[in-house]
Amino acid sequence: MKQYTPMIQQYLKIKAEYEDAFLFFRLGDFYELFFEDAIKASQELEITLTARDGGVDEKIPMAGVPYHSAQGYIETLVSRGYKVAIAEQMENPKQAKGMVHREVVQLITPGTMMEGKSISDKANNYISSITAFPDDTFGLAFCDLSTGESKVTLLTEGWDDCINELATIQTKEIVVDGQFHPEKIKQLKERLSVTISYEKETEISHEFEKIIAPLSQDKLVITAARLFNYLYRTQKRSLDHIQPIETYQVHQFMKMDYYSKRNLELTETIRSKDKKGSLLWLLDETKTAMGGRLLKQWIDRPLLSLDKINNRLHIVEKFKENYFERQELRDKLTQVYDIERLAGKVAFGNVNARDLVNLKTTLYQIPELKEILFNINDKKVQHLAESLDPCTEIAELIEHSIVDHPPITIKEGNIIRDGYNEQLDMYRDASRNGKTWIAALEKAEREKTGIKSLKIGYNRVFGYYIEVTKANLHLLPDDSNYERKQTLTNAERFITPELKEKESIILEAEEKSVDLEYELFIEIRNQVKEYIPRLQALAKQVSEIDCLQCFAEISENRQYVKPIFNNDGKVSIKEGRHPVVEKVMDVQTYVPNDCDMNNETEILLITGPNMSGKSTYMRQIALTAILAQIGCFVPAEYAELPIFDQIFTRIGAADDLISGQSTFMVEMLEARNAIRGATENSLILFDEIGRGTSTYDGMALAQAMIEYIHDKIGAKTLFSTHYHELTVLEKSLSKLKNVHVSAVEKNGQVVFLHKIKEGPTDKSYGIHVAKLADMPPELINRAEQILQEFEKNGHHNKQDSESQVKAEETVTVPIESEQTIVIEEHEEQGAEIAQLSLFDEPEMNKQPSSSPKEQKVISELKNLNLLEMTPLDAMNALYQLQKKVK
């Protein structure tokens, strides 16, 4: 350390406190980075890497960015998950005695960004804290620093529950203590791609006593205190805009795990991760940034309270009925700026004069919004109007103090209106009169000297001056009082005693005027700061109105209907549509479908060809339920629904490469979540369960799951499958019903009707789908030959299957959680439920019925202890025995 120069020593001392951040070290008009920071920043920001002498033999790597354009570079680093510590010069270098004192004034992180391109207007930017407790519960607190919103909850169902909540809020940064489990930290980074920060302090500081005052439970207090201690330590400024923290429980809302939200594409699509194509994209007709953020929160957390749901639906209905008032409402909302984030900027101290003018413009819309709402003859709508607080005092303060079109910067004047402050008006008068005198002096000097090009100018270095071109210098009288100030290539600049005197008066007035304007602006900002709680309450009301009018607009434009709720588990949807697919397609060509379920029909087993619309049908039922429970009308001619407490899905097939999990493992994990967590009030969507493994295993697992859901859970379930053998379950499971998506064959080509009909399907049309995918003709021809051989030998013959069903013997095998699977033995075809190998010749399957090999297999079969085997072990053992027979 002693070998380095004093400045580098100062840098290293500060850097030691912020080892996990880029240190932007202020040197004059630049922020400089040194050592590893410089090397990495030059790569990330594509800036020049240089070097400088630091007092040691080797030069120190250095890179820098201009002070005035640093914000863009900072945003780039933070958007990539890095942290940036800003070290400012805390004293004037000209007045410093020795080394200029520097210190970090703010740590900017992914979770503490207040503004910039990486912050979406219609999405929250959350920072969270997690605290693990000995009883395997987890405290979770999160805050959006830009809006002041903060919430906390206690998660009692384990680590997966915690991961699910963090994924739901899409947090950018997570604060934990230094003892947090390393494996869990690794999972957070890999699965959520978040920045991890550390904070050990959980004592309650007086700075945020009011924020956590609503909390009484120690675990919640500790969790919240960790988060706010971190924010207070890193931001080093007022956090007055953070609202008193709210507690919530996950069971207060419809529960959907991360997989289900992803599969249903609620806020982003699976493939592109974009908003376009998601339910949020469809619904977002909000006119304000605040409304857009609230809409996303509503979609993530559908309601369970029938009263709250019906209250929203009632207001949506009234907005839908009053078209002209709704359009007026939408017009006014377009002029409403982001009150929440403006309030945050006021408290944070980075609000400018234009922001305050935007706030004033917003507040001027509130009385008009109230009037529009009062014109709708409904008590609940008018109650919304009564709750709107126009904050008239703030609007009037800004109107009287701030000019209509102020500059962005607040330190160069021209912000405060004339007449607001008497002292400022005096300074301005002196400045304006002085400039008038300057103009008169220029005219007089031109007349006196006869030099028409003579001019009086000004710059910051030399002040005011009289400029005469060299070609006209001979015209100056010898007795003139011009004193040479500066020599240029083509001109000379002069000063006179009289001009110097006026310059002093003008510059003093201008300098004092600018300083006074800054002081007045700070005073105005502090006055606005006192109204932050009222502004935040107003923001919540406006956001809710915006969301509800948005639902009404969507419902009318897309012909949605008001859903009805019941308590007897009945699902009755007539002419239902998938809302997003319908929007993407031509509405005239979309094929609607019914869905009827009740306590007598709890499981729909859906068969049908690929591409026929099975997955779309399943998703549309879930999306209809979600739309209904967030208080929106639904895409159908008629919809009667129960309130679902949870939705579970297993749709689509994709390996989770990050976690090292195969398609089949992802299938099983998603299915496990449903099997363990579903209740009789839940909705389960299972699409093609078991296709990620062998036919034996897949069919066994699919049947076992269906039976377990039917016998043990009783949840409303949509189960699509290509295992046509499962359709026989309708005869043994009283609450299961077969339906299929129909298709017809015309001239050798398949036509998908996309219509749900009762009963099982009779064909899969897989080869026709391959044709649509433009497979090579020779491949298609070979597939058709193989299919004909299969059908010739009875492997897919419907009549044979029916005769086998009649002759079947059912063997039940006990497995975990009292589940059962069914293994079918057929008199005529043996175990031909198994998939025939494409490479087997028909004669290879014809073994003598009494061969020694078969006798040996029978002996092994008798010795199997099925009660001690898992279902997978049992099926694998059966498979091995069949191979021996063959």
Q: What is the CATH number of the domain that holds 178?
A: 3.30.420.110
Same domain, 104 and 81: yes
Same domain, 717 and 601: yes
* Residue at 206 is within a domain: yes
Same domain, 726 and 583: yes
Angle at 157 between CA 713 and CA 155, to 5 degrees: 135
d(CA 873, CA 876): 5
Residue 828: other Cβ atoms inside 10 A: 10
User: Mean pLDDT, to the nearest integer, of 436-462?
Assistant: 89
pLDDT at res. 56: 80
* Residue at 329 is within a domain: yes
Is the CB of residue 871 less than 8 Å from the CB of residue 821? yes
Tell me which of 81, 108, 135 is where a domain ends: 108
Same domain, 477 and 453: yes
Higher pLDDT, 772 or 177: 177
* Residue at 116 is within a domain: no
Is the CB of residue 646 less than 8 Å from the CB of residue 679? yes
Higher pLDDT, 826 or 286: 286
Q: Which residue has the tokens 């109230």?
A: 370
Q: Which residue has the tokens 């219609």?
A: 122
Phi, psi values for residue 24, rounded to 5°: -90, 105
Would the CA dihedral through 280, 282, 283, 287 be positive or negative? positive
pTM for this entry: 0.81
Q: Would you give the distance in Å from CA 328 to the centre of its chain?
A: 30
Does position 48 have pLDDT exceeding 90, yes or no? Answer: yes
pLDDT in tens, 317-343: 999 999 999 999 999 999 999 999 999
Q: What is the CATH number of the domain that holds 535?
A: 1.10.1420.10
pLDDT in tens, 586-608: 656 789 999 999 999 999 999 98
The confidence band for 349, taking pLDDT boundaries of 50, 70 and 90, is confident
Same domain, 809 and 716: yes
Higher pLDDT, 762 or 238: 238
Which segments are annotated as binding site for ATP?
Answer: 608-615
The number of folded domains in the chain is 6
Dihedral Cα 386, 388, 394, 400, nearest 10 deg:
-70
pLDDT in tens, 724-774: 889 999 999 999 999 998 877 776 677 778 899 999 876 666 776 777 677
pLDDT at res. 838: 36
DSSP string, 92-139: -TTT-SSSPPEEEEEEE-TTT--SSTTS-TTS--EEEEEEE-TTS-EE
**3-class SS at 765?**
coil
d(CA 356, CA 345): 10
pLDDT at res. 765: 67
What are the counts of helices (DSSP H) followed by strands (DSSP E) for the chain?
A: 28, 29
Rounded to the nearest integer, the mean pLDDT of the chain is 87
Same domain, 536 and 522: no
* Residue at 1 is within a domain: no
pLDDT at res. 718: 97
Indicate the range of 25-39, 233-247, 663-677 predicted with least confidence. 663-677
d(CA 632, CA 299): 10
pLDDT at res. 652: 65
For residue 519 the two structure tokens come to 């002081």
pLDDT at res. 867: 63
Angle at 274 between CA 271 and CA 277, to 5 degrees: 80
d(CA 313, CA 571): 19
Does position 66 have pLDDT exceeding 80, yes or no? Answer: yes
* Residue at 414 is within a domain: no
Same domain, 322 and 371: yes
User: Mean pLDDT, to the nearest integer, of 699-706?
Assistant: 89
Q: What is the CATH number of the domain that holds 728?
A: 3.40.50.300
Does position 93 have pLDDT exceeding 90, yes or no? Answer: no
Does position 635 have pLDDT exceeding 50, yes or no? Answer: yes
pLDDT at res. 827: 35
Phi, psi values for residue 595, rounded to 5°: -145, 120
Q: Tell me, what amino acid is at 672? A: R
Indicate the range of 244-258, 269-283, 595-609, 800-814 predicted with least confidence. 800-814
pLDDT at res. 564: 97
Which segments are annotated as binding site?
Answer: 608-615
d(CA 144, CA 262): 23
Same domain, 335 and 295: yes
* Residue at 401 is within a domain: no
Selection from 759, 727, 764, 760 nearest residue 745 by Cα? 764
pLDDT at res. 245: 95
Tell me which of 194, 228, 252 is where a domain ends: 252
Q: Which residue has the tokens 């920045």?
A: 195
Share of the chain above pLDDT 70, in %: 88
Same domain, 101 and 232: no
Helix, strand, coil proportions of the chain in percent (round to 5)? Answer: 45, 20, 35
Q: What is the CATH number of the domain that holds 96?
A: 3.40.1170.10
Is the CB of residue 186 less than 8 Å from the CB of residue 192? no
pLDDT at res. 805: 37
Where is 580: in which H helix or E strand? helix 579-584
Per-residue CA distances from 176 to 120, 151, 227, 512, 793 (Å): 26, 16, 9, 49, 64
Is the CB of residue 121 less than 8 Å from the CB of residue 138? no
pLDDT in tens, 423-444: 999 888 888 888 888 888 899 9
Indicate the range of 220-229, 385-394, 866-875 predicted with least confidence. 866-875
Does position 400 have pLDDT exceeding 90, yes or no? Answer: yes
d(CA 90, CA 26): 10
User: Mean pLDDT, to the nearest integer, of 351-380?
Assistant: 96
Same domain, 707 and 848: no
pLDDT at res. 842: 42
Same domain, 319 and 452: no
pLDDT in tens, 808-859: 333 333 333 333 333 333 333 333 333 333 334 444 344 445 577 777 778 8
Same domain, 635 and 599: yes
Is the CB of residue 296 less than 8 Å from the CB of residue 122? yes
The confidence band for 693, taking pLDDT boundaries of 50, 70 and 90, is low
Note down the domain range covering 750. Answer: 564-828
Is the CB of residue 155 less than 8 Å from the CB of residue 141? no
* Residue at 360 is within a domain: yes
Tell me which of 526, 542, 575 is where a domain ends: 526
* Residue at 291 is within a domain: yes
pLDDT at res. 850: 56
